[in-house]
Each structure stands twice: as C-alpha cells, then as structure tokens.
C-alpha cells in the first residue's frame, strides 16, 4: 500500500503496553501502521487527551474518548449526575414512582466539604451505618478506606463519603464486584452497548463486616489485593460466563439480575448525557469521531440487588489474575473485547455517512449496520422499548426521537414542556430570559422568542414547527422544513439542558427536594448548660450531631438558670463549625471530632488565674488518699487505656492542673472532661479546683526503671500553656524542671498491670496510709 494511503494509529497518554497492545495488534492485523500525535486516523489515549486532539475528530478520524466524560468517571461528578437525574424524575413523576425506584442503585454519597453537616446528621440518625471514604479522582483503590466514625471524614474538596454496603453477596465467603465494559458508541443519537463478558473481581480475604481495618476483606481492587501475602490466591477473576453458571447452580435467575444491571448501566450513562453533548457543542467537537469504553463496577448485595459503585475511564486492559486464578481467560476476554470494539465503532470502515442525511431511515440503517458489527457487544440503548428510557432524558435530541420512532415503527408521544427556573423579561417587544438558578440573562431573537412562547405553553416540537412554518410562508419562499425542525429541537434541547424548560410531569405530585422524613433536620434548639473547669456556659447550637458529641458534659437548660451565663455558640459553616465565645470568634472550620478538644483547651485556659499554666496531664488519686495525686504526662489517645488500668487498682482519673511557679504545690485540679474517640466528652468524677499535693510523677507506657526529669519535662511542655495560649517561658521551664527533680519518679508500663501496681505501691507508699 503506498505510504500516502497508509492509515495511521496513535497511542498516547499514560502509556503502558498492557493498556494499548490489544488495540495496536487489532489495527496492525488490518494493515494500519504507527503514526504520531500529528498524524493519525485512529487514536487510543490512556487518560484524557488535549482539546486539540478532540478537535481532529470526524467520521474518518476516531478517538476512544469524548469531552465531558468526567461527569461519569469522577466519583463526585458521577454522584452529582445521578442525583440531578433523580431530582428531575422526582419533580416529574413524584417521590414514589416506578421511575424513582429504578434509580435506587447508587449508595448515598456526601461530597466534602459541602455535605459535611448532612453526613454528620445522617450518621447520627443511623448509628449502625458503615461509611466508606473515597478520593474523588483516583484509581486502583488509592485512598479508599472504611471510616469508624463519620466525624473523621476529611473536609477537603477532593474527598467523598458513601454509605457502605455491608451486606454483599459472596462467592465462597469472599466479597466481589462485577467489572462490566460499557461502550458509548454514538453520542447523538445515543447508542450504548455492554460487553457480554466481564469479570467478578474477588476480595482476597473472607468477608468480615466487623474487621473494618482489613482492606483485603472489604476491597476488591486487584492492585490492593495483590499485596496480601497471606492469601493463597491474592487476585482472582471469574469471567461472567462462569459467574452466570454459578448463579444458576445456586438456584438464582441470572437473567433477571442482568436485565436489572443493564437498565442501571443505561440510566447511568443517560444521567451524564447532557454533559457530554454540551461539552462537544461548546468546544466544537464532532462527536461522530469519538466513543468511550467505560469500566463500570457493580456490587451485588445479599438480596441480589445490583448497585453501581463507580465508572472508570480507560479501564485496565492488563492481565491482573495469575495463570491459575483466571489470568488466561482474562487475557482472552480483553483481547476479544478490543477486537469487537474496533469493528463495532467502524474504525476500519471507509464508508462515510452524509453530513446532511439524518433522516429517520438513514439513522435506522446506520444503527442496524453498527449492530451487525457488534460481535459480543449487546445493545443497551436503543433497546426493544426505547420510549422506556426516553423519559429519563432531560430532553431527547431530534435524532434520539427519530431513531426511537424508526425502531418501534409506531409514532411516539412527543414531549410537552413547562417553564423551569426562569423569569421572562419584556422590553420594547423584545423577550429575554433570566436564568434564576445560574444568574444568566439570555436575549432571544424573534424566531427563538416564538419557539419559547409556544413551548412554554405546552406545545410539542411538531406543533411548534408547524406554527413557524405557516407563519414564515406569508409573502416569503417556504423555508426548509427539515432545517426548521432541527432548529426547533436544538433550541428546546439547549433550554431544557439549562433548566429553563422541563418536561411536563405526568402526574400532579411534585414535591420539594428537601422532603425526607428519615433525615434529621436541625431547628432552633433551646440552649444547654455546659460545664468545664468549674465554670458554667450556655451552649447555643442547632447542630444535633454537635450536641450528641458533647452530651456527656451537657445538662438541660432549666427555667431558673442564670440568663447572664457566658455564651458559647457552635455555628455550622461549609465543611465544619465556627466557635464563638461571648460573641467573639475563637475558632473556625472545626471538624465535628475537633469541637470537644478545642472546648477543653479554650475553656480550660479561661479558668486560669493570672500567671498560671494549664498543664493538660492526668492525675491518679487513690480512694484511700484523696489529698495526694500522681501526675502522669499524656500524649495521643491513651486516656482511656490509663483509666482502664488505674480504676481496678483503686485509683480515680482526673485531668488537668493549674500550676504556678511561685506556688507549685498544692496544685489546683481543673477537672477537665475526658476525651473519648471521635471527640466525645464525658465528665470525670472529681470536683474542680481541688487542692492536691502532687506526690509523684510517672511516665505512662514507659519501661524504664526511672524516667529522668528532662524526659518528663519534655512530655509535659506540649501540654502546658498560659491563658493567652503562650507556651511556658524560661522561668516557668526552670521551675518545672526543679519541681520534677524533687518529686518521686517512676514508670507505668501500660502492658503490665501487675508491674504497674508494684511501681505505684513502691513509689507512692509514703503518700498513702499505712498498709496501702
């Protein structure tokens, strides 16, 4: 073949031989040769190519991506796309409808930081619910983990939290997800396929709901499970033919399951269709040259209900499983997948459709030719009943509608429309539309204004075309009716996409989007009494999750309570809380888990007298010697461990002292609350401001015979601060070191209770009554 007639392929992006070798081999077998980024007629790009490459697309220059795919392939955008579809269908059909029920296949998701408070309210309402944290844009399982407490969710914008589906269907006791390959073959009209083959990807450890820290039990990503050195088969793939056979052996109707999965896959892509089409229009991209192969993960729960989890751009085409755990079958499936894709999208087809021929017959012929090349791809849309899915489009395009009618061979009821989020403005017979949702102003020419007025009064597209055609014939040559029809449909589609028009509801049951009786709704709540370090505060907040975290130190506001009590306010802000003390801002962007520790620090310091230091350390007081205490520097979250060790030995735990270098003993006990995991606070037994003799100092979790004064000082300094948050000055530090040198010192090895008892008895014998 002469070089001028050679057809060139281009491999680009995050290159890896495993990602594009099947594509290269399929084209080379057809006579194609390697090109470059400037010279190609068939491109295979791993990742997202530059806009300049998209602009080269045409029916004879094809690429495996389309602009706008992030509405599916970013986890946060996928949720937003599906949530917008649910809201649109709820407005049209009502909150209880078959259409809404069909869309119940994606776990409820909270996008950080905007949904932070909604997440905390949901966690409060459903204390048994497990949560899973995911980065919004990552692959290969990076960053995914279960949350023991929803309050620990990071509040950066690149994170989301989902309800964790903790009742999965299992294979031999192992959790699995289905990897399904979905091909968006044509954007307008929409034509969508799923590959008959795919895989069940198994977790490498037996599923255990309570073992939340074991990723090999809960996550099925092969890149994660490959690191499980304890598994006999770290990565196992079961192809869908074997999976269907196994379901049948278990007595399940796999056909019903896969029909439901196929419906969910179709609706998922429809949810993002507007974004694809708008981006192509905005960037001037010929969508006929693009297609998209998506790797969609679907979990099957114990009731055999499928759930769509995520949608992957450039799904892995490498062989992940080993030779004895599905590897050869995996390679064969992926090779055939790419070969069938190349044939279906017509990369090797030299026949080019006429740009102007978008007649129903031409659309039907094109769809049927494509289907004849599909190999093992099954067409999801348009299916046998395309009208069943047309209802979920914001508004079908003209070509969507014509292809659906051609396939059904019967006229379909055209959509009628209603005004959406719009305000009409008239000035000197000129019509403009104000988009109240996006604050945009759109001026209409005479033709567009007439289309708008007719559409907003409920006229169908065909009726509008007839009106315009008749109106334009008075004294003028008749217009091209086909061009007029394209113009009307395009206007309506654009306005529906912007929310200015909506498809009319089929029943009068629209509801407000915030009507959710199962969720916790904040309201104006009565203040509560909060006590820290011997002072009482009036806490004002409408956040029920915040009140629940502080419940251990709150008491009800009684009618006789002093209205002049100092005021605390916890105010919800995007992604966190603002803390106000007596109308002064002292902290912002606090997480739910950080509220308790911040209150301890802020209010504990406010209880100090002039010149005093707050030392946030533990005190152990024996029940038989309440006038003496052992000071224990604390770090991290060991408070509960120390308490669990001390109480069986007859010691009570107290927290915090007010210390002054001029009078280091007796020290005043602040009796600060104890911090539990997640920032919850509880009140300890002792009354504040008790004068105690510090009779010794102990290093907790230390196996040394006798800690040095400097080591103890180093442990105390990070927990020591003045009322103005300043650290100890030089004189303070010198006095602290001198004081520690004079005190009995010993260690408390946390993992040896009997040794702890011995050290306490020996080190503090002089501070306790005889015999103790």
DSSP class of residue 439 equals: T
Q: Give domain status of residue 137, yes or no.
A: no
522 pLDDT exceeds 50? Answer: no
Report d(CA 759, CA 739) in Å as an integer: 21
Last residue of a domain, one of 604, 625, 650: 604
Are 327 and 342 members of one domain?
yes
Q: Report CA-CA distances (Å) from 767 to 67, 403, 744.
A: 76, 92, 11
Whether residue 465 is found in the same domain as residue 341: no
Distances (CA, A) of 765 to 522, 628, 670, 758, 769: 54, 11, 25, 10, 8
CATH assignment at residue 427? 1.10.10
What whole-number distance in Å separates Cα of residue 218 and Cα of residue 686?
Answer: 44
> At residue 257, does pLDDT exceed 80?
yes
Other C-beta atoms lying within 10 Å of the C-beta of residue 201: 24
Q: What is the separation, in whole angstroms, between the first and last Cα of the chain?
A: 101
Share of the chain above pLDDT 70, in %: 92
Nearest partner of 122 among 103, 143, 107, judged by Cα: 107
Q: Is residue 139 part of a domain?
A: no
Distances (CA, A) of 177 to 217, 221, 274: 13, 9, 28
CA atoms within 13 A on the CB side of 86: 21
Instruction: Check whether residue 199 and residue 231 sit in a common domain.
Output: yes
Separation between Cα atoms, residue 202 and residue 228, nearest integer Å: 13
Q: What six digits make up the tokens of 14? A: 């995050």
Range scoring the smallest mean pLDDT among 52-61, 304-313, 463-472: 463-472
pLDDT tier at 23 (50, 70, 90 boundaries)? Answer: very high
Strand partners, 537: 530
Q: pLDDT band at residue 687, thresholds of 50, 70 and 90?
A: low
Tell me whether residue 626 is in a domain. yes
Q: Are residues 620 and 740 in the same domain?
A: yes
Question: What is the band of 689 on the pLDDT scale with cuts at 50, 70, 90?
Answer: low
Residues 679, 150 contacting (CB under 8 angstroms):
no
Please check whether residue 371 lies inside any domain of the structure.
yes
Residue finishing a domain among 575, 604, 633 = 604
Query: Which of 169, 237, 242 shows the shortest CA–CA distance to 202?
Result: 237
Residues 372 and 302 in one domain: yes
Is residue 136 scored above 80 in pLDDT?
Answer: yes
Residue that the structure tokens 């400097």 belong to: 710
Q: How far apart are CA 628 and CA 645, in angstroms?
A: 19
Average pLDDT for the chain: 88
SS (H, E, C) 631-648: EECCCCCCHHHHHHHHHH
Asked if residues 45 and 13 have their Cβ atoms less than 8 Å apart, the reply is: yes
Residue-wise pLDDT tens digits, 414-461: 888 999 889 999 888 889 999 888 888 999 998 899 999 999 988 999
CA distance linking residue 110 with residue 79, whole number of Å: 9
How many domains are there within the chain? 4
Q: Within this chain, do residues 182 and 324 fall inside the same structural domain, yes or no?
A: yes
**547 and 480, same domain (yes or no):** no
Q: What is the largest CA-CA distance in the chain?
A: 119
Distance between CA atoms of residues 40 and 32, nearest Å: 10
pLDDT value for 524:
63
**Domain's final residue, options 503, 530, 559:** 503
Which residues in 59-87 are b (16+ Cβ under 10 Å) and which e? ebbbbbbbbbbbbbbbbbbbbbbbbbbbe
| pTM of the predicted model as reported, rounded to 2 decimal places | 0.85
CATH number at residue 169: 3.30.470.20
**Can you give the residue range of the structural domain that contains 454?**
417-503
Tell me the mean pLDDT in the region 250-258. 95
Domain-embedded: residue 537: yes
Residue 22 lies in a domain: no
Q: Which residue, 512, 711, 728, 746, is CA-closest to 620?
A: 746
Number of residues that this document lists for the chain? 772
Whether residues 430 and 490 share a domain: the answer is yes
Q: Is the same domain home to 209 and 275?
A: yes
Give the pLDDT band (50/70/90) at residue 561.
low
Q: 155, 150, 161, 101: which is closest to 126 by C-alpha?
A: 150
Are residues 460 and 554 both part of a single domain? no
Q: What is the pLDDT of residue 201?
A: 95
Residues 645 and 548 in one domain: no
The region, left, alpha or beta by phi > 0 then psi within -120 to 50, assigned to residue 599 is alpha
Question: Is residue 531 a part of any domain in this protein?
Answer: yes
Confidence of residue 353 (pLDDT cuts 50, 70, 90): very low
- The values of phi and psi at residue 712, to 5°, are -70, -40
| pLDDT of residue 36 exceeding 80 | yes
> Is 449 within 8 Å of 468 (Cβ atoms)?
no
Mean pLDDT over 41-68 rounds to 95
The kind and range of the H/E element at 593 are helix 592-606
* Domain contains 46: no
Please state the three-class secondary structure of 166-231 as a single string.
CCECEECCEEEEEEEEEEEEECCCCEEEEECCCEEEECCCCCCCCCCCCHHHHCCCHHHHCCCCCC
Assign 403 a pLDDT band (cuts: 50, 70, 90). Answer: very high
pLDDT at 355 over 50: no
Q: Are residue 591 and residue 624 in the same domain, yes or no? A: no
Dist. CA 559–CA 471, nearest whole Å? 75
Q: Would you place residue 523 in the very low, low, confident or very high pLDDT band (cuts 50, 70, 90)? A: very low
């Amino acid at each position: 073949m002469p070089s001028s007639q050679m057809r060139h392929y281009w491999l680009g992006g995050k290159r890896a031989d495993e990602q594009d070798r099947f594509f290269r081999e399929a084209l080379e077998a057809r006579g194609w040769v390697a090109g470059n980024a400037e010279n190609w007629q068939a491109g295979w790009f791993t990742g997202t190519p530059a806009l300049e490459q998209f602009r080269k697309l045409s029916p004879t220059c094809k690429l495996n991506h389309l602009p706008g795919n992030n509405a599916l392939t970013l986890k946060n955008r996928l949720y937003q796309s599906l949530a917008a579809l649910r809201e649109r269908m709820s407005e049209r059909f009502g909150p209880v409808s078959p259409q809404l029920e069909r869309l119940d296949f994606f776990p409820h998701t909270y996008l950080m930081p905007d949904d932070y408070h909604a997440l905390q309210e949901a966690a409060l309402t459903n204390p048994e619910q497990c949560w899973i944290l995911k980065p919004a844009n990552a692959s290969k399982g990076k960053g995914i983990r279960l949350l023991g407490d929803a309050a620990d969710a990071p509040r950066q914008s690149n994170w989301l939290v989902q309800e964790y589906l903790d009742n999965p269907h299992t294979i031999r006791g192992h959790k699995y997800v289905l990897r399904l390959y979905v091909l968006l073959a044509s954007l307008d009209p929409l034509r969508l396929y799923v590959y008959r083959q795919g895989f069940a990807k198994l977790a490498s450890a037996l599923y255990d709901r309570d073992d939340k820290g074991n990723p090999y039990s809960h996550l099925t990503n092969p890149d994660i499970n490959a690191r499980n050195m304890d598994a006999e088969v770290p990565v196992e793939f079961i192809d869908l033919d074997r999976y269907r056979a196994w379901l049948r052996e278990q007595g399940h109707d796999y056909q019903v399951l896969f029909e439901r999965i196929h419906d969910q896959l179709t609706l998922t892509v429809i949810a993002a269709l507007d974004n694809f089409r708008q981006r192509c229009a905005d960037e001037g991209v010929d969508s006929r040259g693009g297609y998209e192969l998506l790797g969609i993960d679907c979990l099957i729960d114990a009731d055999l209900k499928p759930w769509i989890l995520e949608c992957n751009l450039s799904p892995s085409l490498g062989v992940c499983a080993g030779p004895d755990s599905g590897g050869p079958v995996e390679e064969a499936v992926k090779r055939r997948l790419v070969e069938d894709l190349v044939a279906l999208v017509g990369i090797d087809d030299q026949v080019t459709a006429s740009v102007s021929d978008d007649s129903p017959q031409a659309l039907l012929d094109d769809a049927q030719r494509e289907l004849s090349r599909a190999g093992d791809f099954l067409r999801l849309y348009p299916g046998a009943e395309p009208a069943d899915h047309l209802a979920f489009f914001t508004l079908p395009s003209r070509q969507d509608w014509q292809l659906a009618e051609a396939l059904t061979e019967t006229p379909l009821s055209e959509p009628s429309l209603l005004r959406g989020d719009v305000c009409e403005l008239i000035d000197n017979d000129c019509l403009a539309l104000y988009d109240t949702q996006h604050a945009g102003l759109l001026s209409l020419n005479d033709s567009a204004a007439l289309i708008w007025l007719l559409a907003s009064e409920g006229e169908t597209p065909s009726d509008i075309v007839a009106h315009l055609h008749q109106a334009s014939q008075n004294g003028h040559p008749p217009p091209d009716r086909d061009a007029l029809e394209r113009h009307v449909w395009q206007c309506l589609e654009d306005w529906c996409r912007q929310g200015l028009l909506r498809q009319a509801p089929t029943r009068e049951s629209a509801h407000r989007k915030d009507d959710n009786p199962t969720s916790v709704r904040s309201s104006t709540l009565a203040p509560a009494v909060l006590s820290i370090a011997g002072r009482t505060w009036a806490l004002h907040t409408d956040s029920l999750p915040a009140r629940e975290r502080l419940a251990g130190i709150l008491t009800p506001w009684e009618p006789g309570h002093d209205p002049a009590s100092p005021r605390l306010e916890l105010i919800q802000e995007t992604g966190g809380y603002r803390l106000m003390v007596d109308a002064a801002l002292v902290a912002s962007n606090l997480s739910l888990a950080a509220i308790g520790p911040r209150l301890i620090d802020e209010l504990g310091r406010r209880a100090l007298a002039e010149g005093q230091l707050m030392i946030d350390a533990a005190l152990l007081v024996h029940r038989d010697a309440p006038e003496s205490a052992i000071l224990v520097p604390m770090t991290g979250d060991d408070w509960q461990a120390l308490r669990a060790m001390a109480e069986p030995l007859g010691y009570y735990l107290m927290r915090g002292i007010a210390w002054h270098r001029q009078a280091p003993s007796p020290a005043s006990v602040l009796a600060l609350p104890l911090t539990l995991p997640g920032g919850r606070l509880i009140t300890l037994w002792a009354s504040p401001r008790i004068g105690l003799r510090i009779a010794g100092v102990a290093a907790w979790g230390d196996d040394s015979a006798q800690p040095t004064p400097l080591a103890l000082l180093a442990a105390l300094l990070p927990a020591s601060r003045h009322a103005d948050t300043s650290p100890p000055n030089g004189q303070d530090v010198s006095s602290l070191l001198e004081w520690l040198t004079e005190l009995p010192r010993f260690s408390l090895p946390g993992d040896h209770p009997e040794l702890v008892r011995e050290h306490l008895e020996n080190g503090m014998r002089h501070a306790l009554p005889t015999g103790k």
